[in-house]
Structure formats: structure tokens, C-alpha cells
């Protein structure tokens, strides 16, 4: 099957790309392996130069790349521009810090000298999603490349132009041919890529189901993998929260990228003293969001990326309403061209409703009314996911105490959950394992080798 660029705003096909056969895939993996052998010996200063050139190119052509994202998956153009800048920033960060992160670390032992040295693993396969089509790739590729690995990309089939544009950025920045390659392969060819002797590790950002399949395949072939999967992040509002700040951040965190983000706030867990007023203000702000053409800088909510995603979301909502949830606003597809869905709020979500247990990947906020602060903590952890979380309270010390008990890869206090090159990013439970970004993320795809000298 071809990889199809379909504009979700107009439902029109932009471009198609033929899928590769097994022979072309094998050739690309062999070339990546050969190039990596040379790249591993390349000084950090030269690796950093490539990344700095990539950052310059990203900033110089940010409108072109932003437009491409908006055309292929419907992201509002102003958000797409911010994503391009974030990619440039991660290039700058690792160009500056990678050599320090990879420096050998002395260890006291019974040896005359002992240390841990860090060496690249080889070729890393990255299986990436469509929702942040540039950022997801750059946050995986940049630290892997700076560690001395090669990276081959299996991007989502609905963003092939983004995938090829990223390959061109690295190529035009002077990266050796083969070190970053977009693989135009089908989902059922991922197992063949993992099995290849030329692939040494795999990283995936995507659904829980995809993560289970990739982990099983990587395990079968004894290859390292990092998984960043779904999330159902709790947004816990305590009685003393600054409501103006909290509501503004609630809207931003839930409806950024049309709600299509693993680390978007998904479950608004609110204590009784403040629940009604939070919901009143939240509804006003959500209904004020401007939905429309994502190419318009005034637009805040564009279309969902695909029709099937919109249909699945609406099914979750209608089932939850039938099970007792209350539609506060929205909760219907928009009757216009494209895959638009109304910015929505569901209240009175309980364990009897489908929305309580599943990730809603779209512009829908669910409100869960907790009986108390401790009940809010229980609800926050009553999910199979564990990616991000946030707590909103003026009592920062108390919020920090509660944060210690939340089962998640991160907890933000009075701030929106986000990824940052300086901080490790990843989840626990069904949200995956391993970390991206920071020094920890860079060390996921290295051989931490002990050297002992008498």
C-alpha cells in the first residue's frame, strides 16, 4: 500500500509514495550499518557541526516545514512553527552537551583505575507517530546520532512528506549518507527491520498496542528498546488552586494539537470545594476556542488527523454519555468539510463510564469529581497508564508531597506537562519504559562499558 498524504482539512489527497520492497529495505539497513562504523569514529566537534547546521536550516525555513505539518496532519500553523523551533532547540542542546554526556566516568574500585566508558550501539530503528511529525523524530534522532549511532526512521504512513523533509534536512546539513534514512515501509515490515542483523535497537512512540508488538519482537531478537506509549494524564485541581492560572493551563494542556498528544491533560480530577467553579470557568474558555482552517493564524483548533480517529473518539463519547456522563459542551463532530470535532467537556465521569478507563485522543476533556484530596490521588493512579501528571495548588510543599505518590514518569506542579531536552521524558506502567531526552535519554542507546585496570 502507498503512503498517502491526505489533507485532513479538505479530505483531499496531496501526494502518494510507493512502499519499499524487502530488497530495498535490506539495502538501506546495510548502508546505515556501514555509515555508522565511520560515524562512530567521528569527533564530537564534527557531529555537533552537523546539528548546528540542521538548526540553522530549520529556523531559516520554518514556514515551509510548518506548512508541511499543517497540510499533512492538520496542526494549527502557529503550533507547527513552534514545533519547528523546538526541533532546532534540541539540535542546539545536544550539539553543546553531548560530548560531556558521553565522557567516561571514573569509578572507585579495587582496581588501580576503573571507569565507565560510553560507546554507540549501532543502528537504531525509530518508529514514530504522526501527531508531532517533526518533534517526535528529532527528539529521538538527535541524541542517538550525537552518541555515534545511525538512525533509520519508519514514520507514520500519513506524514510521508514530513519524513522525507527531515531526511533532507540532515542530508543538507552534511550528515553522511545512510546515517539518517526514511524507510518507506509498511507496518508489517517493521518486524523484518528489527530482525535485521544491521539493526541494534528500536525506539517507538505510539499506541499501547503497537508498543506491545514492538517490545515482543525486540525481545525475541534480544535488542534494546525504548517505548513511549499512550497516556491518560491526571490534572489534579486542589481546593486552593489559582483558578485563573489553572483554567487557562487546563485549556492549553488539553486542546493543544487538537488534543492529540500523549502528554495532554486527559483527566481533570477536581476536589469538591472547587469543582463547580472550575467547571464553570473551564466551559467558558473551551467554548471560546476558535475552530477553523489551521492555515489561519487565528485558529486554535484544527481538524483531527484522520476520519477513523474522529469516529473512534465519538464512539467513546457516546458510550460514556449512555453510561451516565454529562455532555457539558460540544461532544459532536462538526458538520463541515474535513475531520473537525467540537472542543468538548464531559462531566460526571465515573468508573462505570468508558472514558474513565480509556485514553481519549482528541479535543475532549473529562471531569472526574473526587470526594477529597486523597480520593483525587487514588483516582489519579487508577489507570493502567503512567506518563505525565500535574497538580495545581498554592501550597507547593503539600503538592510536592502528593507528587511523590503519583505513578507517572513526571509530575508538574502548577505547570503544563511538556517535554524539554534538559529533562528525561518517559512513562511507567502501560505508558512504556525507558527515557528520551537529557543525559538519560542519550544513554539509552549506548554500551556502558566497564574498564578495569590493575
Looking at 91, 225, 258, 262, which residue is catalytic? Answer: 262
Cell reading at 114: 576503573
337 is catalytic: no
The SS3 assignment for 235 reads strand
| In-domain check, residue 51 | yes
| In-domain check, residue 422 | no
262 is catalytic: yes
- List CB contacts of 134: < 8 A, sequence separation 6 or more: 65, 69, 83, 84, 87, 162, 166
Distance of CA 386 to the CA centre of its chain: 14
- Please report, in tens digits, the pLDDT of each residue of the chain (454 residues total): 789 999 999 999 999 999 999 999 999 999 999 999 999 999 999 999 999 999 999 999 999 999 999 999 999 999 999 999 999 999 999 999 999 999 999 999 999 999 999 999 999 999 999 999 999 999 999 999 999 999 999 999 999 999 999 999 999 999 999 999 999 999 999 999 999 999 999 999 999 999 999 999 999 999 999 999 999 999 999 999 999 999 999 999 999 999 999 999 999 999 999 999 999 999 999 999 999 999 999 999 999 999 999 999 999 999 999 999 999 999 999 999 999 999 999 999 999 999 999 999 999 999 999 999 999 999 999 999 999 999 999 999 999 999 999 999 999 999 999 999 999 999 999 999 999 999 999 999 999 999 999 9
71 lies in the same domain as 100: yes
| In-domain check, residue 389 | yes
| In-domain check, residue 119 | yes
| In-domain check, residue 419 | no
304 lies in the same domain as 321: yes
190 lies in the same domain as 243: no
| In-domain check, residue 107 | yes
What CATH number should be reported for the domain holding residue 338? 3.40.309.10
Q: How far apart are CA 228 and CA 224, in angstroms?
A: 14
196 lies in the same domain as 171: yes
Beta-carbon count within 10 A of 246 CB: 23
Looking at 79, 83, 167, 228, which residue is catalytic? Answer: 228
247 lies in the same domain as 376: yes
Tally of domains in the chain? 2
183 lies in the same domain as 277: no
Residues in the chain: 454
352 lies in the same domain as 206: no
Q: How far apart are CA 394 and CA 142, in angstroms?
A: 37
What CATH number should be reported for the domain holding residue 126? 3.40.605.10
Domain limits for position 13: 3-229+429-453
| In-domain check, residue 421 | no
The SS3 assignment for 261 reads coil
| In-domain check, residue 418 | no
Q: In terms of DSSP bridges, do strands 113-120 and 446-453 run parallel, antiparallel, or are they unpaired?
A: antiparallel
Amino acid at each position: 500500500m502507498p503512503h498517502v498524504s491526505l489533507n485532513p482539512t479538505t479530505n483531499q489527497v496531496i501526494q502518494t509514495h510507493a512502499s519499499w520492497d524487502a530488497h530495498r529495505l535490506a539495502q538501506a539497513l546495510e548502508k546505515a550499518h556501514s555509515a555508522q562504523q565511520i560515524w562512530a569514529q567521528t569527533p564530537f566537534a564534527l557531529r555537533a557541526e552537523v546539528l548546528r547546521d540542521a538548526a540553522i536550516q530549520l529556523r531559516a525555513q520554518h514556514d515551509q516545514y510548518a506548512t508541511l505539518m499543517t497540510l499533512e496532519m492538520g496542526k494549527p500553523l502557529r503550533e507547527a512553527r513552534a514545533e519547528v523551533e523546538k526541533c532546532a532547540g534540541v539540535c542546539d542542546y545536544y550539539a553543546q552537551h553531548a560530548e560531556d554526556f558521553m565522557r567516561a566516568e571514573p569509578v572507585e574500585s579495587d582496581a588501580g583505575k576503573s571507569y565507565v566508558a560510553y560507546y554507540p550501539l549501532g543502528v537504531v530503528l525509530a518508529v514514530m507517530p504522526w501527531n508531532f511529525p517533526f518533534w517526535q523524530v528529532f527528539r529521538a534522532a538527535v541524541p542517538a546520532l550525537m552518541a555515534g549511532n545511525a538512525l533509520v526512521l519508519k514514520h507514520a504512513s500519513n506524514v510521508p512528506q514530513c519524513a522525507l523533509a527531515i531526511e533532507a534536512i540532515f542530508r543538507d546539513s552534511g550528515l553522511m549518507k545512510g546515517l539518517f534514512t526514511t524507510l518507506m515501509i509498511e507496518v508489517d515490515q517493521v518486524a523484518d527491520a528489527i530482525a535485521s542483523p544491521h539493526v541494534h535497537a528500536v525506539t517507538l512512540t505510539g499506541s499501547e498496542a503497537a508498543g506491545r508488538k514492538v517490545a515482543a519482537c525486540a525481545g525475541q531478537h534480544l535488542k534494546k528498546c525504548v517505548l513511549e506509549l499512550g497516556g491518560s494524564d491526571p490534572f489534579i485541581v486542589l481546593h486552593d488552586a489559582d483558578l485563573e492560572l489553572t483554567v487557562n493551563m487546563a485549556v492549553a494542556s488539553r486542546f493543544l494539537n487538537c488534543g492529540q498528544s500523549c502528554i495532554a491533560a486527559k483527566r481533570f480530577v477536581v476536589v469538591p470545594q472547587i469543582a463547580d467553579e472550575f467547571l464553570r470557568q473551564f466551559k467558558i474558555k473551551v467554548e471560546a476556542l476558535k475552530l477553523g482552517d489551521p492555515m489561519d493564524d487565528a485558529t486554535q483548533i484544527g481538524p483531527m488527523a484522520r476520519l477513523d480517529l474522529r469516529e473512534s473518539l465519538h464512539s467513546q463519547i457516546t458510550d460514556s454519555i449512555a453510561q451516565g456522563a454529562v455532555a457539558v459542551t460540544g461532544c459532536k463532530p462538526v458538520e463541515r468539510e474535513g475531520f473537525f470535532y467540537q472542543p468538548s467537556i464531559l462531566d460526571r465521569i465515573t468508573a462505570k463510564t468508558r472514558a474513565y478507563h480509556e485514553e481519549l485522543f482528541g479535543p475532549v476533556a473529562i471531569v472526574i469529581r473526587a470526594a477529597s484530596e486523597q480520593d483525587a490521588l487514588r483516582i489519579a493512579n487508577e489507570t493502567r497508564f503512567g506518563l505525565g501528571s500535574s497538580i495545581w495548588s498554592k501550597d507547593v510543599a503539600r503538592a510536592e508531597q502528593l507528587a511523590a505518590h503519583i505513578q507517572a514518569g513526571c509530575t508538574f506542579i502548577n505547570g503544563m506537562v511538556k517535554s524539554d531536552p534538559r529533562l528525561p521524558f518517559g512513562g511507567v506502567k502501560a505508558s512504556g519504559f525507558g527515557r528520551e531526552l537529557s543525559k538519560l535519554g542519550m544513554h539509552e542507546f549506548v554500551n556502558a562499558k566497564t574498564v578495569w585496570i590493575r
